[in-house]
Amino acid sequence: MQKPYEILEGVIPKDYLEKAQKATLELKNWLLDNALIGKSSNLGTGRYWRGIETASRISPVLHKLYTSDFMKGIVSKYMSEAYYYNDQAVVKMPKEPFAFPSHYDNQYAPTGLHQINFMWILDDITPESGDFKIEGTSVRLKAGDILVLDGNTVHCSGKNVTDKPRRAWACVYTTTDPNYLDFFSGRFI
Ligand SMILES: O=C(O)CCC(=O)C(=O)O
């Protein structure tokens, strides 16, 4: 993509937003209730951590949205070819020690694989709910927005110190077939 990021304000239809809010929170509760963090997993990197990788392998609701015509319409504005790769539920529970150090998404993939992250914002992101910084600057994001983040754009986020969960869902596609570890593979566009 041309710019490091773009914010598509209020683009998620209300019923999709509600479905994703519910599904991501259910996944996080499943992860916590079963004390899975740190255990080996057959999703993504092979170990459960606080974010849930390839979430739509577990959630049929998220799978429908990750592969939907709605996403196709948005993704096709940025990518002439797109492959499934990862959809990650990022739910920060109240006071959970869950923050992202400065990183760019492509650093976690093999050299040459380029990702674009279409992050569904499911709750408002404020300095208190997990300050989101892109290239060093805080950005305000609202429930219903999609943050389109190029895989080379440096970003980070803080802990959620509010008393409510803060949910986001990263729908990530690659410009070439990833065919890599246990992530998704296959053509979307
Ligand atoms: O939701 C967040 O706080 C950050 C997520 C993130 O950095 C990522 O998915 O790469």
Phi-psi map region of 181: left, alpha, beta (phi>0 left; psi -120 to 50 alpha): left
Q: Is pTM beyond 0.85 here?
A: yes
pLDDT at 72: 98
The token pair at 146 is: 């999609």
Q: How far is the CA of 9 from the centre of ligand 1 (A)?
A: 18
Ligand 1 mutation target, pool 128, 155, 167, most atoms within 8 A of CB: 155
Q: How confident is the model at residue 2 (pLDDT cuts 50, 70, 90)?
A: confident
**Can you list the domains of the chain with their CATH numbers?**
5-32+49-174 (2.60.120.620)
Q: How far is the CA of 73 from the centre of ligand 1 (A)?
A: 23
Q: What are phi and psi of 177, to 5 degrees?
A: -65, 120
pLDDT at 165 over 90: yes
- In this prediction, residues 162-184 reach a mean pLDDT of 92
- In this prediction, residues 156-165 reach a mean pLDDT of 97
pLDDT at 185: 84
Query: 90-137: per-residue pLDDT in tens?
Result: 999 999 999 999 999 999 888 889 999 999 999 999 999 999 999 999
Burial 114-136, CB ≥16 within 10 A → b, else e: bbbbbbbbbbbbbeebbbbbbee
Query: 178-189: per-residue pLDDT in tens?
Result: 887 678 889 999
